[in-house]
Each structure stands twice: as structure tokens, then as C-alpha cells.
Chain A
Amino acid sequence: MRRAKAFSPTIILSYAVLLLGAFFVIYPFFYMVNNSVKTGQEIMHSPTALPEKIVFTGYTGVFDELDVMLLFKNSVFLAGSITVLNTIFSALAAYAFAKIPFPGRDKIFGFMLLTMMIPGVLFLIPTYVLMYRIGWVGHFEALIVPSIVSVFNIFLIRQFMSGIPDELVEAARIDGAGEMVIFTRIILPLARPALATVAILTFMGSWNDFFGPLLYLNRPEQWTLQLGLLQFRGTVPGENAQQIWALTTIITVPIVVVYFFIQEQFVKAFANVSLSK
């Protein structure tokens, strides 16, 4: 047995290394929050020191310089609509692949998995050309519509739905229930863990994404938080450095709060991803 004695030297050494690792992981976040409540002068002279006096000029300043509420609203709108749409449409497709024996199903599913192997870089330019032609550059549609459904999410949900007994679905069909009813009344409630996983991963991905918005949202009133930070960072003079740290803190806090509430799901989501391969 490896996991035995509680206080052997190996265990003590393990804890020492793990805690040191935890320190290195947390410190940069501490550094960020710590500097967000200092003055720019203090940050310049002693970036690692604790604040002499906690000030909120960083937060008030960044709200003066930048329409943070608008950035926040854009980020929530973008990540929220992508997450909701993607979870619904991926679940629909996943249900069909798992429980409706339509001819050609396995072939389509196999093809779909193959498309996951194609590197995303190939789509970058031609998709932009396409968006340019249909006039979506500069519109949220360019980011939302292609993200309505994704192979990866279909795959994850389908793996989960395959575990739901067929008899349950068959029985409902014999009772005359339509596919839409079966999906909403039987399948969706049972698949909640998988839906949560997919929703979490999708929300995190689009909340943190900056490249899509950088390509397609070129008017400042459409900017997301990430884009706002990217543009704002270069314009801030050194004596106002606390504003940058305030903004990074504002961006990070929502996702960390969500994470702490459902961290078990979060971590499982990533472990599932590899196990289902």
C-alpha cells in the first residue's frame, strides 16, 4: 500500500513540495489583487510590499477611463448566449446520436469525430473572408452563430447519454411520447451532470477568449473585458498602474467565484475530457 503511514518522511516531504507549489500558483494572483489597492507610486517603488494604506483609486480610476460596465455587459452577453445556445443544440444532437437509430447515424458520428482532428488554424482566414462577404465583421453574430453547436460538446454529452437505459426511451415511445417530449422530460433531467460540464467549459472558454473578439468586434462599444484590458493596458501611464491591476481583478473575480461554487464539476469536466477519449 502506498497511501499508508500518516507521518512518514515521504509524506512530510510531499506536503512540503505541494505547499510550495501552491504558494507559487497563488502568489501571482495575490500580487495582482495586492497591487490593485495600492497607489501607482507605491507599485513602482515596491511592487511586492503590502499597501501602506488600502486605496481604491485603481477601481475608481478604471471606471472613469473605461466603460467597464459596458465591457462587462458585452462579455456576459457573448459568453452567456454562446453557452445557452451551445448547450441546448449540442444536447439535441447528442440525444439523436445516442438514442435515435436513424439510418446513417454512425457514419455521420464518425465523420464528426474526424473533423475534431483538423487544426483550427485552417479555418482562421477563410472564415474571416466568409464573414467579410456576408457582412458580419463588426457584429456579434460572427462569434455567436458558428458557436451554436460544437463537436466536442456533442461528443461529451453523447457519451453520457449512451449510459441512460434504452428501455426508458423505448417505453416512452410506446406510450406515444414524441421525441421532443422525451428529450425535454426524460433525457435532459437525467443528463444534467453532462450539461453542467459542457456549460462550464463553454462559458469559461468564451469568457476568456480574446482572439475571436479581437478579429470581429472592432468598434470600442462592442469590446469585451479581455479586449478592453488588451487595449487599455498600453495606454495607462506608470503612475496609474493600479488601474491595470484593478481591471485584471475585475475580469478574474467572476470566473473564480463561479469556480469555487462548482469546482468539483470544473475539475471533473477536465478529467472527463481525457477519460472519454
Chain B
Amino acid sequence: MSAIAAESQNSIASVSAKRHTTLLHRMRRNWWGYVFVSPWIILYIVFGIYPLILSFFLTFFNYSFVNPENRQFVGIGNWVRGIEDPLFWKAIFNIVLNQSVFIFLKNGLGLLIASLLFNIKFGGRLLRTVYFLPVITSTVVLMTIGDNLASPGGPIQKYLIDLHLLDGPFFWKSEETWPMIVIALINTWKWFGISTVILLAGMYSIDARLYEAAAVDGANGWQMFTYITLPTLRPQLFFLLVVDVINGLQMFGEVFSIGFNVYGGINNQALTPVLYLYAQAFDRSNVGFASTLGLLLAYIIAALTFLQFKFFRTNEN
């Protein structure tokens, strides 16, 4: 933030210093600036703004990749169809379930591990390196391993059966809700390292004198954690939550790479909104409808992000 503030002061200063020069003159003097920025501007117009307009335009048509000339105007038909589509809402339900479990576990585990790492003196770096391994590994590889470990007859189920926690092989992939939970667990394994690193960096930036003062006042470890550590980590936790919700609601590659088809299984038990959109566009060639689903999801994400900013960010600078 301070960098941006300094930046704007800078530009104010430079503006007043060069008031005698005309705008055109300044543009000509700094024309390299436009040259250096132009790749992004051109790419964003072609692969950003144009697709966004096209996306909105497509929602009013029935359109297919196969013969795009043959598009048919349907007005708000796709919007009505999307809002009334039980599969879309099932996908929303699935993803909300999946992300509630995932965001809670991932950040909870990250917080726990970060606090423990903050406590110890030796080996912290090595441990952090280890926790980060899944973060850098590809989703397809991790889902292949996770699927195998959790499969009926796989090691985890065998172990649970030996412990009499499970009666027999459990075919979780064909159950309702279970695929979303298993995927959330595998994703927790993949991503908690990020929360750990981000929260740990936050902890190191806390003024040590706060803890000293609290210790003098006789506070115990838990009190220090809840009254000093947690409140100071608010910006980091908020950042993690916002990013997790935006990314998480668009999750679908995991479902695909753990072996479900584009409909999330026979009963759509693992269907997510983006997977459904993918199925509509590339399997059924309902491009206009798929575009509408994308916009509907984007509105839901925007609304959730807005709510988070409104309710979680209130009493912070």
C-alpha cells in the first residue's frame, strides 16, 4: 500500500513540475512507456475484452462450434434455463460442500502447522520444504495417487478395515457427497503448504514485544494465540479466504483427473459448475447455454467476494 501511495505522490510531483509542458509533449517524451505496455494491452483486448463481450453476446443465442453460422436468437431463454436447471444447482451445492470442507481444513491445518513451526528453532526450513512438495506437484499426478490410496481395496481402506472402522470395501465414487469430500481431503493435502507459508510469514512480522508484554502480564500460550496472533493475522487470513473462494468455486480439473466423466459420474455426484459448463459446451455443443452458466457462476463469485469484503474487512485499517 505504501508503495502505491509513494507512487502517486511521485506522479503528483512530476505533474506540477512539468505543468508548462503539454500533454502531447509528455506523451512523446515517454513514448517508450506505451511501447512496453502495449503487448499486454493488445493481448487483453484480443483475449480479454473481446471474449468478455462475445461471452455476453453468446448467452442470447443457441450456438454450436460445429456450425456457428446457424445460430438462433433465444433472448433470455438461456438465462431462464440456467436458473431453472436442477443440475446447475446440484453442481453449486456440490462445490459449496467441497469448498467448505476444503477451505476450513486447508487453512486450519495451515494455521496449526505455522504456529508449530513458529515455536521451534531447528529444522523449520526442512519441514517447510517438505510441506511444500504437494504444492509444486501436478494435479493429475496427485489425483492419481490420491485416487489409488483411497480406492476400494486400496491401502487406506484396507487399514480402516483392519481397525474395524470400515466393514468392507467402500465404493465412495458412486455415493452422493463422498466424492466431493474425498477430493476436498486430497486438495487439502495439496494446498495447505501455501497457507502455512503465508501465515508463518505473517507471524514473523508480529512485533515480539507484544508477546513479551503479554508474558509479563501472565498470559499463557493459548491466550497469546487468540489475543495477539490471530487478530494480527487477519489480513493474511482474509486474503486466503478471498482467493480460496474465487478459485475454489471454479474447481473442476480435480474431478476430471480423479477419473469422473464430464458429467461428474452417473448420478452427477461429482458435478461442479465449471465441469457442467464444460460438458454443455464441448459434449452437447450448447455453447450459448454454457456461456450463460459461466456468467451465472461469475455473478455468484462476485456476490460472495463482495460479501466477504463487507463483513470480514470492516474493522481493519
Contacts and interface: CB of A to CB of B under 8 A. Distances in A.
Given A25-B130, A159-B3, A251-B140, 20 more contacts: A15-B123, A18-B127, A31-B148, A48-B155, A89-B40, A92-B39, A102-B30, A102-B37, A103-B27, A119-B297, A122-B51, A122-B55, A125-B294, A126-B58, A126-B291, A129-B51, A130-B47, A229-B144, A252-B137, A266-B136
Given A96-B33, A267-B128, A248 B48 contact: no
Contacts of A255: 136-138
B144 A233 contact: yes
A117 B47 contact: no
A135 interface: no
The list of the 3 closest CB pairs from A to B, nearest first, reads: A102-B33, A126-B51, A100-B33
B250 interface: yes
A28 B189 contact: yes
B60 to A, nearest CB: 13
Interface string A148-186: 110100100001001100100000000000111001000
13 contacts: A96-B34, A101-B26, A102-B37, A115-B48, A118-B52, A119-B298, A121-B294, A132-B65, A148-B43, A154-B40, A251-B140, A266-B132, A271-B198
B50 A130 contact: yes
Interface string A252-277: 10011001100100110011011101
A149 B40 contact: yes
A1 B127 contact: no
A105 B250 CA distance: 32
B119 A130 contact: no
Interface stretch (A3-11, A51-59, A66-74, A188-196): A3-11
B120 interface: yes
Contact of B119 (A10, A159, A178, A229): A10
A240 interface: no
B130 A122 contact: no
Interface in B44-97: 44, 46-48, 50-52, 54-55, 58, 65, 68
B166 interface: no
Contacts of B119: 2-3, 10-11, 14
Contacts of B302: 119
| Most chain A CB neighbours (cut-off 10 Å) among B11, B44, B137 | B137
